[in-house]
Amino acid sequence: MSPEDGNSIVKQILAHGVERQGEEALRSGSVSLSWGELRSNVLSVAGHLRPILASGGGRIALLGGASAELVVAYLATIAAGGCAVPLPVSAHRDALAGMLTDCEPDLIIAHEDALSMLDGIANAPVVSVRPGKGMPEELIAASLEAPVPVPGETPFNIIYSSGTTGRPKGIVHSHTMRYRQSARSLFGLGPDCTMLLATPLYSNTTLMPLLAALFHGARVILMPKFDAQTYLDLAEAERATHTMLVPVQYQRVMAVEGFDDRDLTSFRIKQSTGAPLHASIKQALLERWPGRFLDVYGLTEGGCTCILDLTAFPHKAHTVGRPADGNDIRVIDEAGNFLPAGERGEIVGRSATMMSGYFRNEEASRAFYWRDAEGTLFHRTGDIGMFDEDGFVVLVDRRKDMIISGGFNIYASDLEEKLLAHPDVSDAAVIAIPSERWGETPLGFIVPRNGAKLDPQAVLEWANDQLGRMQRLSALELRDELPRSPLGKVLKQELRKPYWEKRP
């Protein structure tokens, strides 16, 4: 199959349904689908969706967590020639309304427990799905014989960010892009593998390994809701060989009592993505969890992927690895000049797996793209970083998180690293707040380790004694926990909001 031919991914997945009809392909909760059942369900639902897509704009919105039913609906939408739009159930209602207005779906397929989110904002017919009960009758029709042929540049899916109530940015992935991602042999997937996933279907953290596993004929087990204890139970019982988790999930799993007594010897590859993973956690994974560990740095937009094989390079835990094969990654200054190793700047990158653009948002697309002097197109990451002497990428900070105090650049990550080095601090974040004297000044938030009694003033003095004069924190606040997205990213906009709203 060729990446230039649309629907090559679905064709390959459905081919397993002919060759390995009775073997288990997908499980979520109490629902188990064999490859043959997955094939018949996808083609039956695609038969129902085809006339809806043919007469409308060609998009089906999906709203829910993770379930076998939503996976079938996602694949059926694509098999029918349409574009799947998985929407985040974690989104603010106003943000969800904006996404629906932006994508104008022809149909919304939603988990039963997500229906209330659509009250007053649904702009298309809604079909309710009860996870664990199979596909509803109204979605089943005469089966398509095969996926609908489409050009490779046809939109495969649109993925929205859930972090804002402003104008949404829908990331468009084409069939060609998704095929190139899924067909890679990098992760050693095959029919003897089991991929265990514990993040929601609307996240690329789930979709990318899900599609790759099914493409290569690996069995997939989806957790409808993440729980660290249940994750370990499934990993042991199902002899999981592969997984993709976000950093906070690794922390919670390894904190489970008796973790070191679990039999996790079946694991071959563990991946982490979605947010930076602290070097100490990486080292703990290497020591306590069998199998290779790959830290994957990249964008949902594509074009810029680094991979750290910690098993091969244990001394590089402070980095996110080297550029993956086929990725051209550079570091640029404010003027757009390429910077040598050791110098900090914005990370940009390009590869064969780049988004088609932001859906109906040319302004955002123009702002995201960057061209070098020869006109070559790169993706901007918004991350500040540098190459070390061995070609490994070291992340320094998010560009938007950089604090400019008295004309000096202060990297929040440098301050957070210092706070996390305190023996009684389990989590930390640093933001910029307004300052009459400096314009901005850094404010820190700390979470105590279990049982520890922290004195914020004492920790502030301890940290500032080890920081440069222009780096020093103005204050520290004690929190029980930091606000995080479902994928574990600290929601710094929530921490900033009360301070910047007060500004006259």
Instruction: Indicate if 342 and 406 belong to the same structural domain.
Output: no
Domain boundary among 225, 255, 274: 225
Alpha-carbon dihedral angle through residues 248, 251, 256, 261, given to the nearest 10 degrees: 140
Residue 209 lies in a domain: yes
Which pLDDT belongs to residue 165?
Answer: 44
> Would you write out the chain's pLDDT as a tens digit for each of its 504 residues?
666 678 899 999 999 999 999 999 999 999 999 999 999 999 999 999 999 997 767 999 999 989 999 999 999 999 999 999 999 888 878 889 999 999 999 999 999 999 999 999 999 999 999 998 888 888 988 899 999 999 999 999 999 975 444 578 999 999 999 999 999 998 999 999 999 999 999 989 999 999 999 999 999 999 999 999 999 999 999 999 999 998 889 989 999 999 999 999 999 999 999 877 888 889 999 999 999 999 999 999 999 999 999 999 999 999 999 999 999 999 999 899 999 999 999 999 999 999 999 999 999 999 999 999 999 999 999 898 999 999 999 988 777 777 878 666 787 888 998 999 999 999 999 998 988 778 889 999 999 988 788 999 999 999 999 887 778 999 999 999 999 877 778 888 889 888 887 654
CATH number at residue 372: 2.30.38.10
Instruction: Indicate if 432 and 390 belong to the same structural domain.
Output: no
Rounded to the nearest 10 degrees, the angle between the axes of helix 247-254 and helix 279-288 is 50
Are residues 442 and 434 in contact, defined by beta-carbon separation less than 8 angstroms?
A: no
What is the rounded distance in angstroms from the CA atom of residue 310 to the CA atom of residue 320? 9
Instruction: Indicate if 457 and 413 belong to the same structural domain.
Output: yes
**Which residues have a Cβ under 8 Å from the Cβ of 89 and sit 6 or more positions away?**
63, 64, 65, 111, 114, 117, 200, 202
Residue 384 lies in a domain: yes
Instruction: Indicate if 18 and 159 belong to the same structural domain.
Output: yes
Residue 423 lies in a domain: yes
Instruction: Indicate if 362 and 488 belong to the same structural domain.
Output: no
Instruction: Indicate if 337 and 485 belong to the same structural domain.
Output: no
Which pLDDT belongs to residue 118?
Answer: 97
Q: Which residue, 148, 155, 161, 42, is CA-closest to 95?
A: 161
* Cβ neighbours of 469 (radius 10 Å): 7
Instruction: Indicate if 206 and 342 belong to the same structural domain.
Output: no
363-375 in b/e burial notation, b at 16+ Cβ within 10 A? ebbeebbbeeeee
Rounded to the nearest 10 degrees, the angle between the axes of helix 247-254 and helix 228-237 is 80
Instruction: Indicate if 365 and 420 belong to the same structural domain.
Output: no
Which pLDDT belongs to residue 409?
Answer: 72
Instruction: Indicate if 130 and 196 belong to the same structural domain.
Output: yes
Instruction: Indicate if 414 and 388 belong to the same structural domain.
Output: no
Report the SS3 class of residue 430.
strand
Are residues 191 and 177 in contact, defined by beta-carbon separation less than 8 angstroms?
A: no
Which pLDDT belongs to residue 412?
Answer: 85
Residue 168 lies in a domain: yes
Which pLDDT belongs to residue 168?
Answer: 80
Residue 361 lies in a domain: yes
Q: Which residue, 219, 210, 183, is CA-closest to 12?
A: 183
Domains identified in the chain, total number: 3
**Which residues have a Cβ under 8 Å from the Cβ of 280 and sit 6 or more positions away?**
none
Residue 306 lies in a domain: no
Which pLDDT belongs to residue 80?
Answer: 96
Instruction: Indicate if 388 and 481 belong to the same structural domain.
Output: no
Are residues 245 and 198 in contact, defined by beta-carbon separation less than 8 angstroms?
A: yes
Q: Write the pLDDT tens digit of every residue in 430-448.
A: 998 988 778 889 999 999 9
Report the SS3 class of residue 469.
helix
Instruction: Indicate if 433 and 463 belong to the same structural domain.
Output: yes
Which pLDDT belongs to residue 92?
Answer: 76
Which pLDDT belongs to residue 2?
Answer: 65
Domain boundary among 369, 397, 425: 397
Residue 137 lies in a domain: yes
CATH number at residue 194: 3.40.50.12780
CATH number at residue 443: 3.30.300.30
Which pLDDT belongs to residue 443?
Answer: 95
Domain boundary among 225, 250, 284: 225
Residue 239 lies in a domain: no
What is the rounded distance in angstroms from the CA atom of residue 16 to the CA atom of residue 26? 12
**One-letter amino acid for residue 2 of the chain:** S
Range of the domain at 451: 402-501
